[in-house]
Amino acid sequence: MSTAAHASAGAAESTPFPSAKLGIWWFLASEIMVFGGLIVSYLLFRMAGPGWSAELHHNSTLLGTVNTLILLTSSFTMVEVHRAHGRGEEAKFRLHLALTILLGLVFLAIKGAEYTAHIREGLVPAKSMFWAFYFGMTGLHGLHVLGGIVANACLYAVAARPGGVARYGHRAEMNGLYWHFVDVVWIFLFPLLYLG
Amino acid sequence: MSGTTAAAGGHHGEPGGFLRKYVFSADHKMIARQYMFISLFWAAVGGYFAYIIRWQLAHPEADIPLFGRPIGPDEYNAFVTMHGTIMVFFVAMPLLLASFGNFLIPLMIGARDMAFPRLNMLSVWVLGAASALLLLSFFVEGGPAAGGWTGYPPLSARTAYVGADKGMDLWLLALALEFASFLMGGINFLVTPLNMRTRGMGLLRMPLFVWMVMIASLLFLLSVGPLVAGAVMLLLDRNLGTSFFLASGGGDPLLWQHLFWFFGHPEVYVILLPGLGAMMEVMPTFSRKTIFGYRPIIVAVLVAGALSFVVWAHHQYISGLDPRLATPFSVTTILISVPFALIVFALLATLWGGSIRLATPMWFAVGGLAVFIFGGLTGIFNGSAAVDIYIHDTYFVVAHFHSTFFSALFLAGFAAIYYWYPKMFGRMMNEALGQIHFWGTFLFFLAVFVPMHLVGVGGMMRRIANPGQYEFLAPLSGLNRMITMSAVLLLLSQFFFAFNFFWSMFRGRRAPDNPWEGTTLEWTTPSPPPHGNWPGEVPQVHHPPYGYGLPGAGEDWVPQHRPAPSGAGAGR
């Protein structure tokens, strides 16, 4: 790890946390504010304007619930990746990482099918404020899911090399922190856009 | 991030090759210079636009020299928008936060490099891409963004209102990339001081500049998110026909103002704090006195930073905000002057009774403090809702924020450049040219912006291209011409700096390690520092910074890395 190299280069690590972890936490703090801004804007509009619950019923609660379960399961497999690194189980590391990537792709596929159905019905972003928020929020979230998939795929590529898990496996924790954050954002979006 | 090891390790030797050394460098000192050149390039462009704006206001119908023709209202809007955008996002932040933050944090805390050197390289390249998009926006059909640097909808949401079409989208994308760049930079500025300090360098032994950059980065990270969300919504409004900010489709233009200023006010401190931090380094060194109130300053800045998240609506008193909200926001706004008064008094007390050495950096620091006090005092007028209703959107506001921005960005920025230039480029700048530059900048700045308050109280509005169209502004035209003349002289004074900057880079006197007899760690290594920052071991720290004026210390100062002589009491 880079932090160890720095320590040997003269600068003692000054906190108990690796630099990469501190960096991810600061990054997530700023991400909270991005989604926070969107969610608060949505809530204010929704409280001010009637009729939103009618439009919300165009969304399939079933598909939303399935997607929620998929993301939750992928968070579980992500944790398994991290645990496998701790125990040095290379095959399990790669298997669960592949599962996490796969579940992320299934989530996006379902989301894509929902988008297609909405757009065919004429429920496009310009239709009303609800659909503007729906596509804006789930779209930005979807981009974050995609980013997580790319990060995990990069990790898989280096972990597939001989000795790759031992060398790069600690990155699973950083990817995991981000992946759980994306999951938590969805936990907020799901009731706001599908249930209430 | 194992791949960063090679770049970060101090003893690996310098990377070879022109591209690796000067272009794709992961060395924080080279990245700092890249940020500096980007910001100086944009400062020249922004200054040229200021000149066009001022000439237009003084001689509305005349050809503008060095431009060739008069400009109409649409072009005027574009120049005003781009002047503000450039100066805030592409000059102030890259120069003070990114350039000096990058250069000084590892040198001041005793680290070989930043915590994430490759992320650091990426951040400067993303800013380069943002700069390219912004430049491109000048040449697309419809011209660059023209809805004001704040990008208020509906002006920014529909092409029909201001004429800017793709220019507006490019403006939004350039800002988005700029934010991404500073998010990456900010993570480095926060993690590096937290995790990479040398032995003995406690958090409360760090030079105040490092604290200011950390707090500024924290404010940026926590405030920019809602504006990123707003930028996404505005892009959707422009390109997918949504109506987030358009009342006609059920949206609300006020929402943008909330999202923008929730970021916009902390952003003021993102720019100000590194400037104040530079003053806090320069003033003790040139007064030969320790800083007055090290810990109270840090607490005050944290308090001011926290308060800056609850003052944003003071920009919206006349925007249709519920009047019942105006009073609470007036109260928080004026409360913020308490911690800043503490900081100003601490700096004045640092000067008090010192053996002051009046070199160029000190002139700029003291001049900057004077102007900042002035700008801070006019802020109290703006912060009070009752007064602001009269002076809002007049040149009084323009004069106010230029007094605060110019002092933090340019006067403190020049103090920083003259002070750390020897460390950065290994040569001294010319002192005589520096002092001519200071007096030209300082006096002509006052000549521009003090009378501008009168123009504002006289009722002249911002963002009008031709004051000659308004009968009640006719008595102000003499004052406007005088301001423009002073602005031209202010800009001409900068050529002394430009010449000095580039001439000294090749012909200046070679700089010793510690030309100003400073106590912080960056003065313990050669000028310029080698790759890895210290040729040998990283120094260990034994004192708080600013150990000046110590009885029994032989010389009057004890650097941070020298073990304490008995009874010197180099700190608390």
Mean predicted confidence (pLDDT) in B125-130: 97
- pLDDT for B5 equals 37
Region of poorest pLDDT, from A1-10, B208-217, B460-469: A1-10
User: Per-residue confidence at A10, pLDDT binned at 50, 70, 90?
Assistant: very low
Write out residues 512-541 of B within 8 Å (CB-CB) of A.
532, 534, 537-538
Mean predicted confidence (pLDDT) in B169-193: 96
Query: How many domains does chain A fold into?
Result: 1
Interface test with A, best of B191, B223, B255, B538 (most A CBs within 10 A): B191
- pLDDT for A6 equals 39
Contact B195 A14 (CB under 8 A): yes
Domains present along chain B, CATH in parentheses: 26-524 (1.20.210.10)
Q: Which residues contact B105 (CB under 8 A, 6 or more apart)?
A: B28, B111, B114, B189, B192, B193, B210, B213
Q: Name the average pLDDT for chain A.
A: 91
Stated as kind and residue range, the H or E segment containing A169 is: none
- pLDDT for B565 equals 59
Region of poorest pLDDT, from A115-119, B327-331, B432-436, B556-560: B556-560
- Name residue, tokens 């920083």: B416
Closest among B420, B32, B24, B38 to B189, alpha carbons compared: B32
Write out residues 111-170 of A within 8 Å (CB-CB) of B.
124-126, 128-129, 132, 135-136, 140, 167-168
Cβ–Cβ under 8 Å, residues B424 and B28: no
Contact A35 B221 (CB under 8 A): no
Task: Establish if A27 touches chain B: CB-CB under 8 angstroms.
Answer: yes
User: Per-residue confidence at A79, pLDDT binned at 50, 70, 90?
Assistant: very high
Q: Report the alpha-carbon distance of residue B509 to residue B86 in Å, rounded.
A: 33
Count of residues in chain A: 196
Contact A132 B537 (CB under 8 A): no
Helices vs. strands in chain A: H and E counts, helices first: 8, 0
* Domain assignment of residue A12, yes or no: no
The crossing angle, in degrees rounded to 10, of helices B208-239 and B166-195 is: 150
Contact B2 A128 (CB under 8 A): no
Please report residues of A whose CB lies closer than 8 A to that of B187. 23, 26-27
Region of poorest pLDDT, from A108-112, B161-165, B273-277, B400-404: B161-165
Q: Is the pLDDT of residue B2 over 90?
A: no
Task: Establish if A34 touches chain B: CB-CB under 8 angstroms.
Answer: yes
List the single residue in A with minimal CA-CA distance to B256: A41
Mean predicted confidence (pLDDT) in B467-472: 92
- pLDDT for B8 equals 39
Q: Does residue B321 sit in helix, strand or coil?
A: coil
Q: Is the pLDDT of residue A16 over 90?
A: no
CB-CB: which of A2, A26, A38 is closest to B190? A26
Q: Which residue has the higher pLDDT, B160 or B541?
A: B541
Closest among B498, B505, B515, B269 to B405, alpha carbons compared: B269
Does the complex come out with an ipTM higher than 0.85?
yes
List the single residue in B with minimal CA-CA distance to A137: B229
Which residue segment(s) compose the domain that A133 sits in?
20-195
Mean predicted confidence (pLDDT) in B141-165: 89
User: Per-residue confidence at B10, pLDDT binned at 50, 70, 90?
Assistant: very low
Mean predicted confidence (pLDDT) in B116-129: 96
CB atoms near residue A1 (< 10 Å): 16
Mean predicted confidence (pLDDT) in B308-314: 94
User: Per-residue confidence at B95, pLDDT binned at 50, 70, 90?
Assistant: very high
Closest among B415, B83, B372, B408 to B269, alpha carbons compared: B408
* Domain assignment of residue A132, yes or no: yes
User: Per-residue confidence at A57, pLDDT binned at 50, 70, 90?
Assistant: confident
Q: Is the pLDDT of residue B89 over 70?
A: yes
Task: Establish if B482 touches chain A: CB-CB under 8 angstroms.
Answer: no
Region of poorest pLDDT, from A136-140, B20-24, B75-79, B344-348: B20-24
Q: Which two tokens stand for residue B318?
A: 């006349």
Q: Report the alpha-carbon distance of residue B412 to residue B219 in Å, rounded.
A: 20
Tens of pLDDT, residues B429-440: 999 999 999 999
Q: Name the average pLDDT for chain B.
A: 92
* Domain assignment of residue A72, yes or no: yes
CB atoms near residue B533 (< 10 Å): 24
Contact A9 B249 (CB under 8 A): no
Q: Which two tokens stand for residue B525?
A: 């290594």
Task: Establish if A6 touches chain B: CB-CB under 8 angstroms.
Answer: yes
- pLDDT for B20 equals 79
Please report residues of B whose CB lies closer than 8 A to that of A144. none
Query: According to the 3-state scheme, what is the secondary structure of A89-153?
Result: CHHHHHHHHHHHHHHHHHHHHHHHHHHHHHHHCCCCCCCCHHHHHHHHHHHHHHHHHHHHHHHHH
The predicted model scores a pTM of 0.93
Mean predicted confidence (pLDDT) in B351-377: 95
Out of A4-8, B152-156, B380-384, B494-498, give the one with best mean pLDDT.
Answer: B494-498
> Rg of the Cα trace of chain B?
24
Interface test with A, best of B195, B227, B232, B322 (most A CBs within 10 A): B195
Q: What is the largest CA-CA distance in chain B?
A: 75
User: Per-residue confidence at A48, pLDDT binned at 50, 70, 90?
Assistant: confident
Give the dihedral of Cα atoms B219, B220, B221, B226; nearest 10 deg.
110
* Domain assignment of residue A4, yes or no: no
For residue B131, CA distances in Å to B46, B89, B542 come to 13, 10, 43
* Domain assignment of residue A44, yes or no: yes
Contact B183 A27 (CB under 8 A): yes
Q: Report the alpha-carbon distance of residue B5 to residue B112 in Å, rounded.
A: 11
CB atoms near residue A88 (< 10 Å): 11
Tens of pLDDT, residues B418-430: 999 999 999 999 9
Interface A-B: count of C-beta contacts within 8 A = 162
CB-CB: which of B8, B183, B190 is closest to A5? B8
Contact A19 B195 (CB under 8 A): yes
The crossing angle, in degrees rounded to 10, of helices A129-159 and A19-48 is: 160
Mean predicted confidence (pLDDT) in B347-370: 96
Q: Does residue B202 sit in helix, strand or coil?
A: coil
Contact A132 B199 (CB under 8 A): no
Contact A33 B226 (CB under 8 A): yes
The crossing angle, in degrees rounded to 10, of helices A90-120 and A129-159 is: 160
Q: What is the identity of the amino acid at B492? A: L
* Domain assignment of residue A3, yes or no: no
Please report residues of A whose CB lies closer than 8 A to that of B538. 9-11
Q: Report the alpha-carbon distance of residue B138 to residue B144 in Å, rounded.
A: 5
- pLDDT for B11 equals 44
User: What CATH number is given to the structural domain containing A40?
Assistant: 1.20.120.80
- pLDDT for B568 equals 45
Mean predicted confidence (pLDDT) in B311-323: 89
Query: According to the 3-state scheme, what is the secondary structure of B330-356?
Result: HHHHHHCHHHHHHHHHHHHHHHCCCCC
- pLDDT for B483 equals 97
- By percentage, how much of chain B surpasses pLDDT 90? 84
Task: Establish if A25 touches chain B: CB-CB under 8 angstroms.
Answer: no
* Domain assignment of residue A30, yes or no: yes
CB atoms near residue B443 (< 10 Å): 15
Please report residues of B whose CB lies closer than 8 A to that of A29. 221-222
- pLDDT for A15 equals 80
- By percentage, how much of chain B surpasses pLDDT 70? 95
List the single residue in A with minimal CA-CA distance to B532: A9
- pLDDT for B564 equals 67
Contact B195 A30 (CB under 8 A): no
Mean predicted confidence (pLDDT) in B548-558: 77
- Residue B427, beta-bridge partner list: B510
